[in-house]
Structure 1
Amino acid sequence: MIILAATPIGNLGDASRRLIEVLENATVVAAEDTRMTAHLLKALHIANRPRLIALHDHNEKHKAAEIVALATDEDVVVSDAGMPAVSDPGYGLVAEAVAQGVTVTAIPGPSAVIMALAISGMPTDRFTFEGFLPRKPGDRRRELQALAAESRTMIFFESPSRLASSLADMGAVFGDDRRIAVCRELTKMYEEVRRGTASELASWAEGGVKGEIVVVVEGATPVVASAEDAGVQVQALVEGGVRLKDACAEVAAATGLSSRDLYQQALASRKR
Structure 2
Amino acid sequence: MEMSIGRENYPGRLAIVGTPIGNLEDLSPRARRVLSEADRILVEDRRHAQRLFQSIGIQPRTEPLHEHNERSQIPRILGYLQAGERLALISDAGMPLISDPGYPLVRELRRAGVAITVVPGPSAALAALALAGLPTDRFCFEGFLPAKSAARQQRLRELEAETRSMIFYEAPHRILATLEDMIALLSGARGAILAREITKLHEEAIGESLAAIHASLTASPERQRGEMCLVLAGAPERESGEADLDRLLRPLLQELPLAQAVRLAEAQSGAPHRRLYQRALALTSAAESD
When normalised by structure 1's length, the TM-score is: 0.79
C-alpha distance in structure 2 between counterparts of 1:105 and 1:50, whole Å: 19
Alignment-derived partner of residue 227 in structure 2: 212
Alignment-derived partner of residue 183 in structure 1: 195
Map of 1:140-155 to 2, 5 A cutoff? 140-155=152-167
For 1:53, which of 47, 63, 86 is the aligned residue?
Answer: 63
CA RMSD of aligned residues (A): 1.5
Structure 1 residues 99-153: Cα deviation after superposition (integer angstroms, max 9, x where no partner):
1110111111111011001111011111111111111111110011111011110
Map of 1:165-180 to 2, 5 A cutoff? 165-180=177-192
For 1:223, which of 212, 222, 238 is the aligned residue?
Answer: 238
C-alpha distance in structure 2 between counterparts of 1:162 and 1:156, whole Å: 12
User: Are 1:120 and 2:132 matched, yes or no?
Assistant: yes
1:65 shift after superposition: 2.9
Alignment-derived partner of residue 62 in structure 1: 72
Alignment-derived partner of residue 24 in structure 2: 12
User: Are 1:74 and 2:89 matched, yes or no?
Assistant: no
For 2:193, what is the secondary structure of its paired residue?
Answer: strand
1:10 shift after superposition: 0.4
CA contact (8 A) 1:2 1:68 kept: no
Structure 1 residues 185-206: Cα deviation after superposition (integer angstroms, max 9, x where no partner):
0000110101222122112223
Map of 1:27-106 to 2, 5 A cutoff? 27-44=39-56, 46=57, 48-72=58-82, 73-80=84-91, 81-106=93-118
CA contact (8 A) 2:206 2:216 kept: no
For 2:18, what is the secondary structure of its paired residue?
Answer: strand
Structure 1 residues 69-92: Cα deviation after superposition (integer angstroms, max 9, x where no partner):
322322110012100011001111
C-alpha distance in structure 2 between counterparts of 1:145 and 1:128, whole Å: 16
1:176 shift after superposition: 2.1
Look up the equivalent residue of 2:181 and give its one-letter code. D
Single out whichever of 62-71 and 192-201 deviates more from structure 2. 62-71
When normalised by structure 2's length, the TM-score is: 0.74
Look up the equivalent residue of 1:153 and give its one-letter code. S
C-alpha distance in structure 2 between counterparts of 1:71 and 1:37, whole Å: 22
